[in-house]
Chain A
Amino acid sequence: MQRIGVFVCWCGSNIAGTVDVQAVSEALKNEPGVVFSTNYQYMCSQAGQELIINSVKEHNLTGIVVCSCSPRMHEATFRKTAAAAGINPYMVEIANIREQCSWIHKDMEIGTEKAIILGKAAIAKVNLNAPLTPGESPVTKRALVIGGGIAGIQTALDIAEAGFPVDIVETKPTIGGKMAQIDKTFPTLDCAACILTPKMVDVAQNDKIRIFSYSEVEDVKGFVGNFDVKIKKKARYVKEDICTGCGVCTEKCPMKKVPNEFNLGMDNRRAIYIPFAQAVPKVATIDPNACNMLKSGKCGLCAKVCTAGAIDYTQKDEIIEEKYGAIVAATGFNPISMDKFDEYAYNQSKDVITSLEFERLTNAAGPTAGKLLRPSDGKHPHKIVFVQCVGSRCESCAEKGKEYCSKICCMYTAKHAMLTRDKYPDTEVYVFYIDVRTPGKAFDEFYRRAVEEYNVHYIKGMVGKISPEGDKLMVRGSDLLNNKQLTIDADLVVLAAAIEPDKSARPLATMLTASMDTNDFFTEAHPKLRPVESPTAGVFLSGACQGPKDIPETVSQASAAAAKVIGLLAKDKLTGNPCVAQANELMCNGCSSCEKVCPYGAITYVDKEFRMPNRTTAIRRVASVNPAVCQGCGACTVACPSGAMDLNGFLNKQIIAEVDAICK
């Protein structure tokens, strides 16, 4: 029989205002197992905690019920109090009489009655509580960062700085991501390459960091502190350790007409290529879909001109297996396809471009060497229309766009408009917008400068139709402030396409058993209090894979994720949560129902030998829960048809006892 103490908290007037706390503590005094019951103004304060500790000693308590706020708020606090008083922390139950009672009721009588019922339920549960001890597991002191954009780079650098080895896996031949394609960054207008490329070099030179470029994560097994990961290093047909990046092969290759993805197809590269001059690692890669040698065995020119002898046409994909303690998803974003937005004539005219293409057109290393020229005829455009929110905030057209705000477009469009007016003052610039959203340090000032100093014409309204006529683009839109329909004969139109998570994120989330929202952005463990952690232990989130973000925000989040990883890797052992599922092997019939519903991959099946009557044995397939992976969600306990699965701390009989107490 337990000896239970009940502690009713007033929470100032938060609870005491609508609940008669004195009546509650009196009423609960006579519940089975209760030997002591009291109330106090702030139970979480030091004095309140001391009251609990002293009562435990005085009344030899074995269980504690605190009637207070939500367990999310102070369960951990009172568990510590219990431990300090010398009883098992899992002998504490919280009856939430604040969020679920006093805050939602106005009538003192009803509130008090409900608080008593909630208290009775918690007491019924504590009567069946058993002390629980968390398990321990070791930590592999190495981190994996998936994605080598600015988010992945910053996370890796910060983890390496703390002394832990990090591997970056990047699908492209170079790290750098979207930021490497950008010309200038808002709101300071400093050159993106000048701040990014030194970081890329830092990554390359850091002996704690390994880069697996042109590689993909193929498989993830294991759990926090102990992930087993398979990385596929795709054949690049160039020996990475020998190639010096001299680039002779990329000049001699006869296949000259391969669309250059780094410049978004606005110019061509060769079949053997280095994406850009500052690429890291600076080694060539052969595109197997374009290379004559690989397709038909005829050519071999690059091997002939390579003085280092780095070309290897027989190279095969390689699988690397490595153990990690923590994994960071930094898979980034892409602009959405404009195929379904043909009202903007993106597929009909070369002079309708996306904002990222505009970045390349104004970038000194881009296809026009930084001169703003029309893709169709190479002429300087004199009238440019920017259209914002193309596919963003697209509630009525969810099948082609996104419901959310892409967040970065207002600022980069202001940047594009301002830079155009600065460099080419003879150019008229129009921006169509739904709203201009520029919160952020020095952001709104930046936008005001575009309007006031650079005379960019901001028009509130959307564009309905763009039609190429001759060498002009007729842009029809509405000016809502003047209540007029406008037609602008533009030379160039720039579409601020919505951004979406990279396509690799969804399969990766499945491998990591990390959850995603309906838009395929990774979900954070708590939107406010745990924004860089995935709900899956040991998986962290960095950058735009978690939601649309600009560079400053991405870098902040990247460093935050790194701090969380460092905190994890700094531990030698991990203390688990003892409230995990457990299978009663004698009742388990090996049906796999629990394995199928487990969102964390914590359940496996083992063949076990059981003693049978008459000194015989039998081998049976039974469920086995890995307590380090189990998050205690309880899905398996519901799915189990034979009632073999139970959740420690939330045993079926405890839940039933609570329900009985409420219904009595």
Chain B
Amino acid sequence: MKVSYFPGCTLKTKAKDLDAYARKCAEILGITLEEIENWQCCGGVFTTARDEIATKLSSVRALNDAKEKNQALVSVCSACHNVLKQTNYAMQTDEEFASRANNYMQLDEAYLGETQVLHYLELLRDVVGFDKVAEKVVNPLKGKKIAAYYGCLLLRPNSVMKMDDPENPTIIEDLIRALGAEAVIYPYRNECCGGYVALENPDSAKEKSLKVTNSAKNAEADIILTACPLCKYNLEKNGADIPVVYFTELMAEAFGIKEDCNA
């Protein structure tokens, strides 16, 4: 099965391994990630200002690209996914926004949010199935206590993301269990890491990050698992003393292909 793939800037720079593991694991699962051509930065954050349109056009272009290929659009980074899904939702529901965006785009056929946007985790759960993921595990991660860290962007706003319950999610825990490890539930798993506040007010970001790390440690986790490069950056920079790992890396480890990816 082929899907369109939007890696995003960070996966080409700081988070190259998130990208590499994602591609390899997809291959194992029989999914081809076709990177869309000439993609541009998603814009970083979805601005809620309704008249702000420039930063959302690159998302519209990517979405339309997937539409033309009749493929779902998959991304891994929490922030890219958030912007893509919210932009797509705006194209579906906000007539004024959609007509303005289409005026800029000058497409042959107007784009009105037809593309299905999937996070890589949703691809695993809803398209592949966690049971199929479990079948591919050659190196079960037995005995590892893993704390899924959702952060704030992955699941919110729930009315648009429609991915999992934002206060009591299970999607990453279900993946962890499929890989043979033990999922640790802790209170701060869906709180913000500090995000871009790290630039403006590093102390505040540090406080937020430490709360997450400590909460996971109190629950006796060995590893924190994330999908978001910014979360990983903030947690590590602010003194996380347990490993913060991308979910794709853990999956590669369980599939026994981690070394191939590094090579």
A residues sitting closer than 8 Å to B (CB atoms) are 339-343, 345, 347-348, 399-400, 465-470
Interface positions of B from 158 to 203, Cβ below 8 Å from A: 158-159, 165, 167-168, 185-188, 191
For residue B262, CB closer than 8 A to chain A, the reply is: no
- Nearest Cβ on chain A to B19's Cβ, whole angstroms: 31
Question: How many B residues, CB 8 Å from partner?
Answer: 12
- Nearest Cβ on chain B to A478's Cβ, whole angstroms: 15
Give CA–CA (A20, B76) in the complex, Å. Answer: 74
Query: Can you list 7 A-B pairs with a CB-CB distance of less than 8 A?
Result: A340-B165, A342-B167, A343-B167, A400-B167, A465-B191, A466-B187, A467-B187
- The answer to whether B215 touches A348 (Cβ under 8 A) is no
For residue B38, CB closer than 8 A to chain A, the reply is: no
- Nearest Cβ on chain B to A517's Cβ, whole angstroms: 22
- Nearest Cβ on chain A to B238's Cβ, whole angstroms: 18
Give CA–CA (A469, B215) in the complex, Å. Answer: 8
Give CA–CA (A469, B186) in the complex, Å. Answer: 10
Give CA–CA (A348, B218) in the complex, Å. Answer: 13
What are the residues of chain B within 8 A of A400 when measuring CB–CB? 165, 167
- Nearest Cβ on chain A to B49's Cβ, whole angstroms: 19
What are the residues of chain B within 8 A of A340 when measuring CB–CB? 165, 167-168
Give CA–CA (A467, B187) in the complex, Å. Answer: 5
- The answer to whether A467 touches B215 (Cβ under 8 A) is yes
What are the residues of chain B within 8 A of A465 when measuring CB–CB? 187-188, 191
Give CA–CA (A399, B164) in the complex, Å. Answer: 12
**Known contacts A400-B165, A400-B167; 7 further A-B pairs (Cβ under 8 A):** A340-B165, A340-B168, A341-B168, A345-B187, A399-B158, A465-B187, A469-B218
Give CA–CA (A347, B218) in the complex, Å. Answer: 17
Give CA–CA (A342, B189) in the complex, Å. Answer: 11
Name A's interface SS. loop
- The answer to whether A348 touches B187 (Cβ under 8 A) is yes
- Nearest Cβ on chain B to A490's Cβ, whole angstroms: 14
Q: Which 9 A-B pairs have the closest CB atoms?
A: A467-B187, A342-B168, A342-B167, A343-B167, A345-B187, A340-B165, A340-B168, A469-B218, A467-B215
Give CA–CA (A399, B159) in the complex, Å. Answer: 9
Chain B residue nearest to A338 in the complex (CB) = B168
Give CA–CA (A465, B191) in the complex, Å. Answer: 9
- Nearest Cβ on chain A to B166's Cβ, whole angstroms: 9
Chain B residue nearest to A469 in the complex (CB) = B218
- Nearest Cβ on chain B to A494's Cβ, whole angstroms: 18
Which of B168, B191, B215 is close to A347, meaning CB atoms less than 8 Å apart?
Answer: B168
Chain B residue nearest to A347 in the complex (CB) = B168
Give CA–CA (A339, B166) in the complex, Å. Answer: 12
- The answer to whether B168 touches A467 (Cβ under 8 A) is no
Which of B159, B167, B218 is close to A341, meaning CB atoms less than 8 Å apart?
Answer: B167
Give CA–CA (A342, B188) in the complex, Å. Answer: 11
Which of B158, B159, B167, B188 is close to A467, meaning CB atoms less than 8 Å apart?
Answer: B188
Give CA–CA (A399, B168) in the complex, Å. Answer: 13
What are the residues of chain B within 8 A of A341 when measuring CB–CB? 167-168
What are the residues of chain A within 8 A of B167 when measuring CB–CB? 340-343, 400
Chain B residue nearest to A474 in the complex (CB) = B187
- Nearest Cβ on chain A to B89's Cβ, whole angstroms: 16
- Nearest Cβ on chain A to B95's Cβ, whole angstroms: 23
What are the residues of chain B within 8 A of A345 when measuring CB–CB? 187
Give CA–CA (A341, B218) in the complex, Å. Answer: 21
What are the residues of chain B within 8 A of A469 when measuring CB–CB? 215, 218
Give CA–CA (A470, B218) in the complex, Å. Answer: 8
- The answer to whether B168 touches A468 (Cβ under 8 A) is no
- The answer to whether A468 touches B187 (Cβ under 8 A) is yes
- Nearest Cβ on chain B to A603's Cβ, whole angstroms: 41
- Nearest Cβ on chain B to A345's Cβ, whole angstroms: 6
Give CA–CA (A543, B186) in the complex, Å. Answer: 40
What are the residues of chain A within 8 A of B158 when measuring CB–CB? 399
What are the residues of chain B within 8 A of A399 when measuring CB–CB? 158-159
Give CA–CA (A343, B159) in the complex, Å. Answer: 17
What are the residues of chain B within 8 A of A342 when measuring CB–CB? 165, 167-168
- Nearest Cβ on chain A to B199's Cβ, whole angstroms: 22
Give CA–CA (A465, B188) in the complex, Å. Answer: 9
What are the residues of chain B within 8 A of A348 when measuring CB–CB? 185, 187
What are the residues of chain A within 8 A of B168 when measuring CB–CB? 339-342, 347
- Nearest Cβ on chain A to B168's Cβ, whole angstroms: 4
